[in-house]
Amino acid sequence: NAGVMQNPRHLVRRRGQEARLRCSPMKGHSHVYWYRQLPEEGLKFMVYLQKENIIDESGMPKERFSAEFPKEGPSILRIQQVVRGDSAAYFCASSPLTSGVAYEQYFGPGTRLTVT
């Protein structure tokens, strides 16, 4: 059973471009969480999705950021018109359970976004 997969692992974008980060949850998992990590900081929660539903987006910036988890295919975190401050590591985690307690969230390896 493959783990959570994220791609790309590294993404370089120029200011103003769009960044699309993909997350394929573990097989059988229908809950996905996205987190952002700035250098020397902990994970910051962004959004929690079930298939075709956003459950909690309280950590998402109000503008330029969006997330989806379609019925088929990976979850996508989309950042429009990227700025240098968006440079960070973005992690997704998947869970089989509604409660999604931390130890039952399986994390992907992350995507490091660099905005030049």
The site for another protein (CB under 8 A) is made up of: 3, 33, 35, 37, 40-48, 56, 59, 89, 91, 93, 98-103, 105, 107-110, 112
Tokens describing residue 96 = 């089989």
Tokens describing residue 21 = 């980060």
Minimum distance from residue 76 beta carbon to another protein (Å)? 18
* CA–CA gap between residue 69 and residue 53 (Å, rounded): 7
Please identify, using beta-carbon distances, which residue of 72 and 85 lies nearer to another protein: 85
Minimum distance from residue 104 beta carbon to another protein (Å)? 9
96 exposure class (CB count in 10 Å sphere: 0-12, 13-18, 19+): middle
Please identify, using beta-carbon distances, which residue of 41 and 52 lies nearer to another protein: 41
Tokens describing residue 8 = 């790309």
